[in-house]
Amino acid sequence: MIEAIAALVNADPAIVRWGRGMNATFMVEVGDAQYLLKVQDGKLALEKGPFVMRSWSFAIRAKEECWKKFWQNPPAPGWHDLFALLRRGDVKFEGDQRVLMAYLLYVKLVLAAPRNA
Amino acid sequence: MKIEPIVGRYARISGCRMYFEEAGQGIPLLCLHTAGSDGRQYRAVLNDRSITKSFRVIAFDMPWHGKSSPPAGWQKEDYRLTTGAYTGMIMEFIREMGLERPVVMGCSIGGRIVLDLALKHARELRALIGLQSGAFVERYYDAAWLDHPEVHGGRACGAVAYGLMSPLSPETERWETVWHYMQGGPGIFTGDLHFYQVEGDIRSRIGAIDTSVCPLYLLTGEYDYSASPRDTEAVAARVKGAKMTIMKGLGHFPMSENPEAFLGYLRPVLDEIRRG
């Protein structure tokens, strides 16, 4: 489902505006599959891995079945927000937490966008 | 134009200039907002004629929050809410305002502190309603980022609050709730979370709550993962006589994120309290 994420985000100005000023690349892992999400002023580009020695600002990693539940529309209780998964230990945040927290609303809206695919 | 029946005033309480809103007449119903927000969360309760015809509904902004001022000298220290300060402030407000045996309803940190009020002040209160009550929440993210010079506090606090709500709640009310969070002063949400996630662990004490002196109602939204249904169930299992309801389709801010659905759960509780 993540394949459609860039088109969904870039077509929605209500999401893009929350990423204004963000120029960073972050990693999302869906199980073993790696994706780099490159953000330029709120606009998103997706690149599928695997990658060798690529840099990223922060990484968000979860099992494939977790993302599947997260991307259901509507999601069930406990699967509706990244921090819900965080409290249970179903998702891991690594890297530069400052960038993640500075753009947390944007990142949450971006990662929830595949629900509308 | 429609003018709401809510009236807002200021009072000098606890050494602070405190703002409160009220509507209605009858049994005092004091409403406690969540961490990092303010009394506007209770706008729908204050505007509900079926409640205000029997209850004098009052919602204050805690010192440091909303339109209430911080104490003099605030710039010299970090704000850190504690159980003692929170309970003391609520009881001082009740005494100074002359509220006779009020019902106290609180959400999140307010849902936690009603458990302390049940232990220490049961005889002075008519009933307690805990929304999203849990006896303790261990830290699962670093709240220091919500008060960091290189992270916009309003945006970060808003993002945390956004996720705690139900995706089924109406979009307009959800984003209104986020807006309140975005308006909080620097370090205020973090300071409240010190009570919620560090200092205010009430797990070892709640077994002593006597609901025959002061009834305790627990209403929790099923989408909340901060004070989850499981956390509230753990409280209800320890407090004999506590009446628990899990609210379908609601999240951490039921009164603010989906007022209509919440009022459907609240009105029968208030009717029961009124009938005594």
pLDDT tens for B104-159 read 999 999 999 999 999 999 999 999 999 999 999 999 999 999 999 999 999 999 99
Backbone torsion region of residue B274, taken as left when φ is above 0, otherwise alpha when ψ lies between -120 and 50, otherwise beta:
alpha
A77 vs chain B: nearest CA distance in angstroms? Answer: 5
Q: Which residues of A touch B156 (CB under 8 A)?
A: 101-102, 104-105
Domain spans, chain B: 7-275
B42/B63 Cα distance (integer angstroms): 17
- Does A77 contact B140 at a Cβ distance shorter than 8 Å? no
Name the percent of chain B lying above pLDDT 70.
100
| Residue B14 pLDDT > 90 | no
Digit-coded pLDDT (tens) for B15-38: 899 999 999 999 999 999 999 999
Question: Residue B191's pLDDT is what?
Answer: 98
B232/B225 Cα distance (integer angstroms): 11
How many interchain CB pairs under 8 A, A with B?
Answer: 62
Q: pLDDT band at residue B220, thresholds of 50, 70 and 90?
A: very high
- Mean pLDDT throughout A110-115? 98
Contact B63, B70 (CB under 8 A): yes
- Each residue of B85-118: b (16+ CB within 10 Å) or e? ebbebbbebbeebebeebbbbbbbbbbbbbbbbb
Question: Residue B104's pLDDT is what?
Answer: 99
The radius of gyration of chain A's CA atoms, rounded to the nearest angstrom, is: 13
- Does B156 contact A101 at a Cβ distance shorter than 8 Å? yes
- Interface probe, candidates B132, B137, B141, B164, chain A, greatest A C-beta count within 10 A: B141
Tokens 């002040």: give the residue: B121
Measuring CA to CA, how many Å separate A8 from each of A5, A44, A45, A50, A58? 5, 9, 11, 23, 22
Question: Residue B228's pLDDT is what?
Answer: 96
Q: Which residues of B touch A87 (CB under 8 A)?
A: 140, 225-226
- Mean pLDDT throughout B73-96? 97
| Residue B206 pLDDT > 90 | yes
Q: pLDDT band at residue B260, thresholds of 50, 70 and 90?
A: very high
HSE on the CB side for B249, CA within 13 Å? 11
- Does B163 contact A97 at a Cβ distance shorter than 8 Å? no
- Does B225 contact A87 at a Cβ distance shorter than 8 Å? yes
A71 vs chain B: nearest CA distance in angstroms? Answer: 12
- Does A101 contact B140 at a Cβ distance shorter than 8 Å? no
Digit-coded pLDDT (tens) for B88-104: 999 999 999 999 999 99
Digit-coded pLDDT (tens) for A31-88: 999 999 999 999 999 999 999 999 999 999 999 999 999 999 999 999 999 999 999 9
Residue A62 belongs to domain spanning: 2-116
Residue B56 CB coordination number (10 Å) = 17
B63/B208 Cα distance (integer angstroms): 30
Q: pLDDT band at residue A2, thresholds of 50, 70 and 90?
A: very high
B26/B57 Cα distance (integer angstroms): 9
Question: Residue B234's pLDDT is what?
Answer: 97
Give the pTM: 0.97
A1 vs chain B: nearest CA distance in angstroms? Answer: 19
Kindly list the residues of chain B whose beta carbon comes within 8 Å of any beta carbon in chain A.
Answer: 140-142, 145-146, 148, 150-152, 155-156, 158-160, 162-164, 166-168, 222-223, 225-226, 228-229
Q: pLDDT band at residue A16, thresholds of 50, 70 and 90?
A: very high
Beta strands A91-95 and A58-62, pairing class: antiparallel
DSSP letter, residue B62: P
CATH of domain B7-275: 3.40.50.1820
- Mean pLDDT throughout B174-197? 97
Question: Residue B21's pLDDT is what?
Answer: 98
Q: In sequence order, what are the beta bridge partners of A23?
A: A40
CATH code where residue A55 lies: 3.30.1050.10
Strand order in the sheet with A58-62: A43-48, A33-40, A23-30, A58-62, A91-95
Q: What are phi and psi of A98, to 5 degrees?
A: -65, -45
Kindly list the residues of chain A whose beta carbon comes within 8 Å of any beta carbon in chain B.
Answer: 18, 74-75, 77-78, 80-84, 86-87, 97-98, 101-102, 104-105, 108
The overall average pLDDT reported for chain B is: 97
Q: pLDDT band at residue A96, thresholds of 50, 70 and 90?
A: very high
Tokens 């972050």: give the residue: A26
Looking at the structure of chain A, the number of domains it has is 1
- Does B148 contact A101 at a Cβ distance shorter than 8 Å? yes
B9/B242 Cα distance (integer angstroms): 34
